[in-house]
């Protein structure tokens, strides 16, 4: 009877034990899952270094395109007519000095004409001496009345006529001497021969161009600048020019064109390039070139270029908050100088930014901050 009465109590105790054991197991399992979830949520997405923006002064530049041209070109031509070229001593590309002989014409005919002119001058001088002596005798006899007034006048007239013939003969002699000197074609200035049409054996007329010379070897860059940008450029300003060959050239603004093209609304700015730069072929007349006018400098807030992340055509940086979570900030970028990029808007100077690796982050991610280079994704 008693044994049968104890069975319900034992069953109840056993049931309670089972329930408690199951509850304990469920509690332990839930606690473990919560701890794992918390550990997963607290895991940093990236180990990074941080940097603050720097306030620096950056140069202001104005970019333009244009062509390289000769500063001035001299046309060297024939001054004598109908003579034959016997020598051509200069070729395209030669650097010549002022007075250097470029070509020589046959001078036999001119020398003969010069000799004839000298003989005519000597004859005129002899006639003039005789006329002067006759005039002097007429003056001495004028008071005695031995000669009539008409005769005396004739002697005086003959004297003046003889003097005039001497001057004419002397002028003709000078003309022939000048023609003889013109049989040698010389460089009018220092420079580089840019073109040559002279050919040995050719008979050319007066005024025919034989050579073209870049005076002093000087080149200029003719930059096309819009009307709105002309006010920013001043004569004497420094310009960095890059030719089509990739050579970097330095120049200075010589002058700003006085007119604006009504079709393109652009004006020409003339920039002097150093004379030696054209000798190596790095810059040649007619070559296209790009350039930048140096317009001074202005203060700017800059960040390392690696801190910028470009997404969908916009620039972003990641600011690290006090809780080590990042906030994505949209910024406006400006000038790039070396490895630093100007930020014109969207950023404060005291912000702490992720130096690199922002492309792996999203807004709100947790990061670990270390000194030195970021180690990459965890």
Are 235 and 196 members of one domain? no
Taking a C-beta distance cutoff of 8 angstroms, is the pair 84, 165 a contact? no
Helices 149-181/108-141 angle, 10° precision: 160
Q: The domain containing residue 331 runs over which residues? A: 46-56+299-377
Are 77 and 206 members of one domain? yes
Are 236 and 192 members of one domain? no
Are 241 and 337 members of one domain? no
Are 79 and 148 members of one domain? no
Number of domains comprising the chain: 4
Q: Tell me whether residue 236 is in a domain.
A: yes
pLDDT tens by residue, 153-212: 888 888 899 899 999 999 999 999 989 998 999 999 999 999 999 999 999 999 999 999
Output b/e per residue, 161-195; b: 16+ Cβ within 10 A: ebbebbeebbebbeebeebbebbebebebbbbbbe
Task: Please report the pLDDT score of residue 153 as a whole number.
Answer: 83
**Between 144 and 235, the higher pLDDT residue:** 235
Are 262 and 139 members of one domain? no
- In 3D space, the residue among 271, 210, 255 whose CA is nearest the CA of residue 69 turns out to be 271
Taking a C-beta distance cutoff of 8 angstroms, is the pair 170, 63 a contact? no
Are 176 and 142 members of one domain? yes
Domain of residue 329, CATH code? 2.40.420.20
Q: Tell me whether residue 277 is in a domain.
A: yes
The one-character DSSP state at 3 is: H
* C-alpha gyration radius of the chain: 49
The pTM is what? 0.62
pLDDT tens by residue, 347-361: 888 899 999 888 888
Q: Tell me whether residue 15 is in a domain.
A: no
Q: Tell me whether residue 25 is in a domain.
A: no
Q: Tell me whether residue 248 is in a domain.
A: yes
Query: Is residue 39 classed exposed, middle or buried when 0-12, 13-18 and 19+ CB atoms within 10 A define those classes?
Result: exposed
Are 142 and 112 members of one domain? yes
Are 97 and 127 members of one domain? no
Task: Please report the pLDDT score of residue 47 as a whole number.
Answer: 85
Q: Tell me whether residue 354 is in a domain.
A: yes
Domain of residue 93, CATH code? 2.40.50.100
Beta bridge partners of 84: 203
Domain of residue 251, CATH code? 2.40.30.170
Structure token pair of residue 18: 């089972």
Are 348 and 360 members of one domain? yes
Are 144 and 197 members of one domain? no
Residue after which a domain boundary falls, among 139, 158, 182: 182
Angle at 284 between CA 280 and CA 286, to 5 degrees: 170
Half-sphere exposure of 242 (CA within 13 A, CB side): 6
pLDDT tens by residue, 17-45: 444 444 445 444 444 544 454 445 568 88
């Amino acid at each position: 009877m008693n044994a049968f009465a104890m069975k319900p109590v034992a069953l109840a105790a056993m049931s309670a034990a089972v329930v408690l054991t199951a509850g304990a197991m469920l509690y332990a399992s839930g606690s473990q899952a919560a701890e794992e979830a918390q550990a997963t949520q607290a895991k940093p997405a990236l180990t990074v270094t941080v940097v603050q923006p720097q306030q620096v002064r950056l140069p202001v530049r104005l970019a333009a395109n244009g062509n390289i041209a000769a500063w001035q070109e001299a046309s060297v031509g024939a001054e004598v007519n109908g003579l034959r070229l016997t020598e051509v001593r200069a070729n395209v590309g030669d650097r010549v000095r002022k007075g250097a002989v470029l070509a020589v014409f046959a001078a036999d005919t001119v020398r003969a004409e010069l000799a004839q002119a000298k003989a005519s001058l000597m004859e005129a001088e002899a006639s003039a001496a005789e006329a002067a002596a006759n005039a002097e005798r007429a003056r001495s006899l004028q008071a005695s009345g031995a000669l009539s007034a008409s005769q005396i006048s004739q002697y005086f007239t003959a004297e003046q006529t003889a003097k005039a013939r001497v001057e004419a003969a002397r002028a003709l002699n000078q003309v022939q001497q000048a023609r003889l000197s013109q049989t040698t074609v010389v460089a009018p200035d220092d420079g580089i021969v840019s073109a040559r049409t002279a050919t040995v054996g050719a008979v050319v007329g007066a005024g025919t161009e034989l050579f073209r010379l870049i005076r002093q070897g000087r080149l200029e860059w003719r930059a096309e600048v819009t009307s709105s940008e002309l006010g920013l450029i001043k004569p004497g300003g420094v310009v960095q020019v890059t030719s089509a060959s990739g050579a970097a050239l330095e120049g200075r603004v010589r002058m700003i064109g006085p007119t604006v093209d009504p079709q393109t609304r652009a004006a020409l700015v003339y920039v002097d390039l150093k004379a030696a730069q054209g000798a190596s072929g790095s810059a040649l007349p007619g070559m296209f070139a790009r350039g930048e006018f140096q317009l001074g400098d202005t203060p700017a807030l800059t960040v390392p270029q690696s801190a910028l992340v470009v997404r969908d055509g916009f620039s972003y940086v990641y600011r690290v908050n006090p809780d080590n979570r990042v906030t994505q900030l949209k910024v406006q970028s400006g000038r790039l100088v070396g490895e630093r990029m100007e930020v014109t808007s969207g950023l404060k100077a005291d912000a702490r930014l992720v130096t690199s690796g922002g492309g792996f982050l999203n807004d709100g991610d947790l990061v670990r901050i270390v000194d030195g280079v970021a180690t990459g994704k965890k």
